[in-house]
């Protein structure tokens, strides 16, 4: 079985470790992340593994269809434009309301 890794920027890794963040969004998922997977958590900035998590739930939506509940355990944005700009920094200019986001609820092991 291939080992899966989810990367978090430095400031988000801290939120995961404190338990404030237990939900992550992934666009263009190339790892086929699924409910029940156990994954390593990596700090994107330092490349260090900072934990292991089990994926409790995984679902998909268009970014334009996200609801308040999809933000529970995830960092908030002041508006949709800020959200799109943030994800364009991570994934490039192909991010918009029709982009499919994989929403992943996880639990630190």
CATH of the domain at 56: 3.10.400.10
- pLDDT for the residue numbered 3: 84
Number of domains within the chain: 1
Q: What is the pTM of this model?
A: 0.94
> Residue 42: what pLDDT?
98
Residue-level pLDDT, tens digit, the chain, 109 residues: 568 999 999 999 999 999 999 999 999 998 999 999 999 999 999 999 999 999 999 999 999 999 999 999 999 999 999 999 999 999 999 999 999 999 999 999 9
Q: How far apart are CA 37 and CA 86, in angstroms?
A: 26
pLDDT of residue 2: 66
Enclosing domain of residue 36: 5-108
* The token pair that represents 39 in the structure block: 């994954």
Rounded distance, CA 12 to CA 24, Å?
Answer: 10
Predicted local confidence at residue 1, as pLDDT: 57
């Amino acid at each position: 079985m291939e080992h899966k890794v989810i990367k978090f920027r430095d400031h988000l890794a801290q939120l995961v470790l404190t338990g404030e963040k237990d939900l992550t969004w992934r666009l263009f998922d190339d790892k086929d992340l699924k409910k029940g997977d156990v994954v390593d958590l990596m700090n994107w900035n330092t490349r260090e593994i900072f934990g292991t998590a089990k994926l409790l739930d995984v679902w998909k939506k268009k970014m334009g269809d996200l609801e308040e509940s999809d933000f529970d355990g995830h960092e908030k944005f002041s508006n949709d434009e800020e959200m799109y700009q943030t994800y364009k920094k991570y994934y490039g200019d192909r991010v918009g309301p029709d982009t499919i986001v994989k929403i992943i609820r996880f639990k630190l092991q």
